[in-house]
Structure 1
Amino acid sequence: MANILLYTSLFLIWIMLFYHMFLMQGGYLHSIHYRKTADKWLNGAMNLPTVSILIPAHNEEVVIEKTIEAMLSLQYPENKLEVIIINDNSSDRTGEIADHYARKHSFIHVVHTRPPHAGKGKSGALNQGLKVSSGEVIVVYDADNTPEPEALKSLALGLKNDPKAGAVVGKFRVINAETNLLTRLINIETLTFQWLAQAGRWFWFKMSTIPGTNFAIRRSILEELGGWDEKALSEDTELSFRVYNLGYHIRFFPAAITWEQEPETIRVWWKQRTRWARGNEYVILKYILSFHKLERKKIVIDLVYFLFTYLLFFGGVIVSHTLFVTNLFFDLNLSGGLVSYLLLVLGFLLFVTEVTLALSFEKKQLTIKNFFIILFMYFTYSQLWIILVVYATYLETKRVLFNQEVTWYKTQRFKQDTSEKRSAS
């Protein structure tokens, strides 16, 4: 029995590793080709659509001013732009700061939400903002984001030049990457995710996941879908599946760049990532149960990917780890022996190779320091993710079994020195 569990777990792990190798090839090819497309669109004749930027903000006084200042620096015609800040039942100065800018700039508007339909999560705030918006294109930025001046134009041109794209997703960079070891690990994680999972899936399958920020979506699509799912903790992933189901693809366009703040303490990271994991497990369950109703069966590509990532792959890692540790104290008669250990070593080397390649796609990121952080990452940060997913699965199972109400956790922000942004680029 132990041998069957061992070989099954190793099979699941290596299926995922080989798939990531395949995705990384696509990510590399996309990193080469997208620049030609970006230059062509940005230098060509422009007939830009009207855009509404939605910025959900709940107790964001620490970061909201810099985000609004970034909106003022966007290279986009003011007569085709409106910025809507949704002050979602904040108890700090978020609303006051937003109102100050709205009085000075006619294209900035503030929506103040109040109970009982307020402060319950990002999806609800976005739906409130969507109601008062008017743009042909809806763009979302989190309250801690500082997009680069041409980011909005790149997103809008992506939709304008690609009629099959229901949404266009940009790239995000970590503004506080150099703050401490945790933010350095997160920086490496986010770059790997974008060039492997996002760029790779786009290149091979014309699929990528809508993130929580720095994306543009057609207004007509949101209206057809009825806005965001307010029960979803990962509203971005859930929305992606519904966009696929309408027959659109989601373009990953790294020319649109924003800088965002990441957690600087393990406590904040744990709460944020637990919400992400629970949210993605909600999406997996929702679409597995309703798969027979889906019109576009291509969705199965991403559904299987998320299923493997959060359940089968992590499950395989947990089982293999447990068997190897147990075998140190009790003889389980494992027949794999040297081969199993060799596969584990090869898996580690493959992990290092993939992450190193991802960093090589970004200027000044493939450094000696980051290489050693990658080695450290495998044995610490990556293993911590396993514990987190187990915990998130427990919470989500309990929520489903006892029909508990979804509780939204708003990520804590930290005061930031904008000079950190340029040091990380």
Structure 2
Amino acid sequence: MANTLFYTALILIWGMLLYHMFLMQGGYRHFKTFDRKIPEWSKNMKSLPTVSVFIPAHNEEVVIEQTLKAMSRLYYPKDKLEVIVINDNSSDRTGEIGRSFSEKFPFKKVIETRPPNRGKGKSSALNEALSQSTGDVIVVYDADNTPEKMAVWNLVMGLVNDPKAAAVVGKFRVINAKKTWLTRFINIETICFQWMAQAGRWKLFNIATIPGTNFAIRRSVMEQLGGWDVRALAEDTELTVRVYNLGYHIRFFPAAITWEQEPETLGVWWKQRTRWARGNLYVVLKFLSRIFKLKRKRIIFDLFYFFFTYFLFFFGVIVSNALFIINLFYDLKLSIGNVAVVLWGLAFLLFLAEVMIALSIEKDEMNRSNFFCVILMYFTYSQMWIVLVVYSLFLEMKRVLFRQEVRWYKTERFSQKRGDVQ
């Protein structure tokens, strides 16, 4: 029994590692080729659509000013642009700061959430803005974001030149990457996500996932879908599945770049990532139960990826770790012997190779400091994710069994200064 479990765990772990290596080569190819379209695409940017930028904000006085300054620098005709701060039941100066910008810039305004949307979380705030905006294209940014000057232009350019795309998602970078060891780990994680999970899946399978920020989506699609799901903690992943089920695709276009703040303490990281993990578990359980009713079978592939990641892969890691520890104190008579040590070593080297290739894509990120960070990350940060997913699964099971109401956690912000983005 122990041998069967151990072999099963190894197959699951190595399956995920090899799949990510496969995605990595797709991501690298996308990095080398995505900007070749820009000169031709730029010629079609004559009759521009109107754009509404949504910034959901609940108690964001620490960061909202820097975000609105970045919005002032956006390269897009101001007569076709409206920037909407959605003040969602804030008890600080968020609304006051937003209104000070709206007095100086006619294309910026502040709206207040109203019942039933008030204080219910990001999805409700976005639905409020959808009902009070006019843009043909909806662009979403979190309140801690400083998009680069060409970010919105590039997102819209992707939609203008790809009629089959319901949404275009850009790249996000970590603005406080060097602040703590934790933000260094998150920076590495973020870069890997961009070039493996996003670019690789887009290049190889024409699949990408809508993130929580720095994406553009057609208003017509949002209206057809009836807005955002207010029960989804990972409203972005949930929206992704419904968009694909309509028959559209989602394009990853890394020319659109934003800089965002990441958690600087373990407590904030734990709460944020728990919300993410619970949100993704909600999406998997919601749509797997309807898997045979989905019209577009391509998205089944993505649902299986999330299922594999959050259930099978983590099951394999937990089982292998448990068997290894138990075998130290009690002989389980594992027949694999020293081969297990070799496979573990190879898995670590493969992880290291994948991450360093991803880092090489971003300027100045492949260096000695990050090399040692990746090694430390494998033994600390990666293991923390295992505990977090198990905890999140427990919370989701409890919510379903006891029919508990979903509660939104707003990520705590930190004071941050950065030079002008490009």
Q: TM-score range by the shorter chain?
A: over 0.9
Counterpart-to-counterpart distance in 1, 2:332 and 2:124: 52
Counterpart for residue 27 of structure 2: 27
Q: Which position in structure 1 is the counterpart of 2:205?
A: 205
- Residue 7 of structure 2 corresponds to which residue in structure 1? 7
State the partner residue of 1:179.
Answer: 179
Report SS of the residue matched to 2:9: helix
Give deviations 1:65-89, integer Å, cap 9, x for gaps: 1111111100000111111110000
Q: Are the equivalent residues in 1 in contact too, given 2:56–2:125 (CA < 8 A)?
A: yes
Shift of 1:413: 0.2
SS of residue in 2 equivalent to 1:335 = coil
Give, in whole Å, the separation in 1 of the partners of 2:7 and 2:311. 17
CA distance in 1 between partners of 2:109 and 2:255 (Å): 27
Could you say which residue in structure 2 is the equivalent of 1:170?
170
Flag the 1:367–1:92 CA change in 2: closer, same or farther, 3 A. same
Instruction: Please show how residues 223-302 of structure 1 align to structure 2 within 5 Å.
Output: 223-302=223-302
Structure 2 residue aligned with 1:410: 410
1:222 corresponding residue in structure 2: 222
Q: Percent identity of the aligned residues?
A: 65
Aligned mates of 1:217, 1:267 — CA distance in 2: 33
2:352 alignment partner in structure 1? 352
Name the aligned partner's letter for residue 57 of structure 1: A
**Which residue in the other structure is 1:141 paired with?**
141
The Cα offsets for residues 371-396 of structure 1, whole Å up to 9 and x where unpaired, read as 11001000000000000000000001
Deviation at 1:38, TM superposition (A): 2.7
1:333-382 deviation digits (Å, cap 9, x = unpaired): 10111112211111110000000000000000001000110010000000
Aligned to 2:38: 38
Measure, in 2, the Cα distance between the counterparts of 1:51 and 1:143: 18
The 2-side partners of 1:29 and 1:143 are apart by 32
Structure 1's unaligned 5+ residue stretches are: none
Give the stretch that moved more between structures: 333-342 or 274-283. Answer: 333-342
* Residue in structure 2 matched with residue 400 of structure 1 by the alignment: 400
Q: Which amino acid aligns with 2:276?
A: W
- The residue number in structure 1 matching 2:343 is 343
Note the alpha carbon deviations across 1:81-136, whole angstroms, 9 max, x for none: 11111000000000111111112221112111245531111000000000011111
**Helix, strand or coil at the partner of 2:168:** strand
Q: Give the counterpart letter for 1:267 in structure 2.
A: G
Q: 1:396 to 1:48 in 2, by over 3 A?
A: same
- The residue correspondences of 1:185-196 to structure 2 (distance < 5 A) are 185-196=185-196
**Which residue pairs with 2:53 in the alignment?**
53
Alignment match, 2:81: 81
CA distance in 1, matches of 2:357, 2:43: 30
Residue type matched to 2:102 in 1?
Answer: A
Alignment RMSD, CA only? 1.2
Measured at CA, do residues 115 and 164 of structure 1 come closer, stay the same or move farther in structure 2, by a change above 3 Å? closer
CA contact (8 A) 2:210 2:236 kept: yes
1:65 aligns with 2:65: yes
The aligned length equals 422
Q: Which amino acid aligns with 2:316?
A: G
Give the whole-Å Cα distance in 2 for the aligned partners of 1:114 and 1:166: 28
Read off the aligned partner of 1:364 and give its amino acid letter.
Answer: D
TM-score (norm 1): 0.98
Give the 4+ runs in structure 1 shifted more than 6 A.
Answer: none
Under a length normalisation based on structure 2, what TM-score does the superposition of the two structures give?
Answer: 0.98
Give the letter aligned to residue 326 of structure 2: T
One-letter amino acid matched to 2:369: K
- Given that 1:89 and 1:115 are in contact with CA atoms closer than 8 Å, whether structure 2 keeps it comes out as no
The one-letter code sitting in structure 2 at the alignment partner of 1:199 is A
